[in-house]
Each structure stands twice: as structure tokens, then as C-alpha cells.
Amino acid sequence: MTTVGIIGAGAMGSGIAQVAAKAGNEVVLFDTNIEALELSKTKLAKILARLLEKNRMTALETEALKSRISYATRLESLADSGLIIEAIVENLEIKKGVFTALETLVSEGCIMASNTSSLSITSIAAACKKPERVLGIHFFNPAPLMPLVEIIPALQTHDSNALKARNIIDSWGKVTVVTKDTPGFIVNRLARPFYGEAIRMLEEGVASIATIDWAMKEIGGFRMGPFELTDYIGHDVNYVVTETVFKAFFYDPRYKPSFSQKRLLEAGRLGRKSGHGFYDYSENAVNPSPNTNRELGGKIVKRILVMLINEAVDALFLNIASAKELDLAMTKGVNYPKGLLAWADEIGLELILNQLEELYANYGEDRYRPSPLLRKMVRKQQSFF
């Protein structure tokens, strides 16, 4: 077992610390904010108490886990770490500064990773004198519960370090996928149409918030509807990721953010955390009921699903990851009912292409352009699996 350093005692950092400690590692959780460290310690105690109460851990195991996590306010405390995972604010310049300071303190063999969900790992690595040991290790929230972890080698990352990092995270009981260092990696890229196309239909007046959510759950089989999910994630997070991916893809219209979500963010309606988002979460609030017309629901699901599938096909076309890992990422990272490429095989690629071409003809927007790989596979009558 290696000593693991975690930078940032927020929800993600604390969750990763819990995962690493449960796997038997000594963990140093660093934050400059003493209050954040105390809050992290208190929350962990509550989580472990619940696990003990539900007989998921013994008293001995919970005490051992707690004893393996130490809390630090000095960066020097991470000097003996074999692996360090940074989980702080999504700001590239701040992250670069942390990595630059960090590499002067740690050993030659220490692997330094960022938990960023959308920023360039290559850019972070470029700030270091030894960029070959820098990579992305992206957990999903809540880290102790979500099985998927994306491993993102930078352009400079040495293969041996990427393999070593993946083996460590695998040993923690996680499901890992390796992805190319492109905006949004796998999950945050492929999932954009789930939110974006739902909001687009809302803005066009195709259906209400409640109806679109109902359709995606009842007919599509998704655990949460797009509006429920964005409210759960928080618009301060979800909108910013959309905006980041849009800018990073040189303003490709497929990732264009919406004014509807931007206005919610400007109004401070961040979702569940603020008591109001697309839905009203205040006490005694009554939210509108859905229109449960199954024909309308089917059209909603079809439109969002073909956009999701097209995004997955294009990611495969651009060698972001293998077909197997793209599907694994979406089922394990965001609990999709099926892998998008396997789903495409099931529906039929020609049918999906026809639906996309119909949308493209109706709107005349690049947002709906079918992936070249989809066209090629339809021509050759191929399937993904």
C-alpha cells in the first residue's frame, strides 16, 4: 500500500480520501482551510457511523479507516506520498500553481494526478519539470459510491505511470477506463446532449420540464430525468462544465450552452442546494404534473437518445476510447440503462442516421450533423459489437 496525498477537503477530495483509506492506504488530506478539514472529518465520522449501523462495516474497520486519514494544512505534509490526487476548484491557473509547488516537495517516483472533470491534463502537466508523471484520475461524485474512474494520460505522461496509476485505482475496487485528453473526457462529453437537447425541447415548447423528465425515466429507462439531474448536480457545476466543453471544442454548436440554464445560474437558482432550480424545492411547493402521452414521450426519448448515440459514435471515430470503454463509462459513470453503442446496435444504425438527418434538414444546424463513422457503418452495414 502506498501513502496517498489528497489536495482539497471538499466533497470530492473527502470522498476520494475515504476510498483510498478503505483500500488500506495511509492518506494525508490537505487543505489550507482548517474549517474545511474539520467539516470533512465530521462528515466522515457520520458516514462511518451509518455504515456501522447498517452492518456494512464493523467497529474495528471504521476505527481503522479513520486512523489511516491524517489532516494537514501544510503542503509539505504530502512529501512522502507515492500518489497525489488534486481535487480543488476548476481553475487551470490555480491547478498549475499547485502542481508546480508540489513537484519540488515529492519524491522522483511520486505520481501526481488531477481530478478535474473537464480541464486539459496536458496543460497542467506542461507547468511541471517532470510532466511524464502527471495525469488525470477523474472520480465521480460521490466517490465512495460511484464505481467509475476515468484515467486520462496527458500528451507527456509516460505509459508506465499511466499503467501504475490505473493498477492502483483498480486495486481500490473501482472500474477504470482510459480516455484521450480531450474536453469532457468520456462521460462529461457524451452526456452533454442529455441536458442540452432536453433544454432545447423545453425552449421550443415541445414539452414541459416534468413531461421530458417523465419520458426519459418511464420510457427511456434512465434513473433521473435531465432536469432532475441538473438540479441535483447544481447549475453552478453543470452549466460551467457545458460552457467549458463548448469553449474547449472551439465553439462547436453541438455543445452550445442554453440561455435558460444561464438565467437560472444568474438568479442563484442552482437546484436542490439552493431550494430552487428547474423545480421548486421549498416546503409545500407543488410542481407541475407531466403529460403522460406515450407518443409524445417516445418522440422526446428518440430525439435525446439519437443525439447521445451520435456523440458516442463520434468519440469512437476520434479514438477517444474503445467502444467497450465508452459504453462502460456511461453505464458505470452516470448509470445509463445501456451502453450507447450497444443501444445503437439494438435500435439499428440506419434508423438513427435517418433520424439525425431529419433533424439536420429541419434545423440546418451543425448541432445535428451525423458522425462520419455512423454514415460509414451504415454504408457498410456494420455494427459496434
Catalytic residue among 26, 86, 103, 150: 150
* 81 a catalytic residue: no
List the beta bridge partners of residue 152: 136
Q: Given 14, 115, 188, 371, which residue is catalytic?
A: 188
State residue 295's pLDDT score: 98
Q: Is 52 exposed, middle or buried (0-12, 13-18, 19+ CB in 10 A)?
A: middle
- Whose cell is 463548448? That residue is 246
Residue type, 193: P
Written as tens digits, the pLDDT of the chain (385 aa) is 689 999 999 999 999 999 999 999 999 999 999 999 999 999 999 999 999 999 999 999 999 999 999 999 999 999 999 999 999 998 999 999 999 999 999 999 999 999 999 899 999 999 999 999 999 999 998 999 999 999 999 999 999 999 999 999 999 999 999 999 999 999 999 999 999 999 999 999 999 999 999 999 999 999 999 999 999 999 998 998 899 899 999 999 999 999 999 999 999 999 999 999 999 999 999 999 999 999 999 999 999 999 999 999 999 999 999 999 999 999 999 999 999 999 999 999 999 999 999 999 999 999 999 999 999 999 999 999 9
Task: Give the model's pLDDT for residue 265.
Answer: 97
Has 258 been annotated as catalytic? no
pLDDT value of position 191:
96
Helix (H, G, I), strand (E, B) or coil at 345: helix
Q: Is 188 a catalytic residue?
A: yes
Candidates 117, 120, 238, 310; catalytic one: 117
Annotated catalytic residue within 138, 276, 310, 371: 138
Full DSSP string of 160-207: HHHHHHHHHHHHTT-EEEE--S-TTTTHHHHTHHHHHHHHHHHHHTSS
Is 53 assigned a catalytic role?
no
Q: Is 206:214 a contact under the CB 8 Å cutoff? A: no
> Domain boundaries in the chain?
4-178, 189-379
Q: What is the pLDDT of residue 2?
A: 85
Cell numbers representing residue 324 in the block:
467497450
Beta carbons within 8 Å of 188's beta carbon, 6+ residues apart: 117, 118, 241, 245
Assign domain 189-379 one CATH number from 1.10.1060.10, 3.30.50.10, 1.10.1040.50, 3.40.50.300. 1.10.1040.50
Pick the CATH number of 4-178 from 1.10.10.60, 3.40.50.720, 3.40.50.10490, 2.50.20.10: 3.40.50.720
Regarding pTM above 0.85, the answer is yes
CA atoms within 13 A on the CB side of 304: 31
Specify the pLDDT at position 145. Answer: 95
Cβ-contact 66, 60 below 8 angstroms: no
From residue 355, alpha-carbon distances to 295, 301, 351, 362 in Å are 16, 12, 6, 11
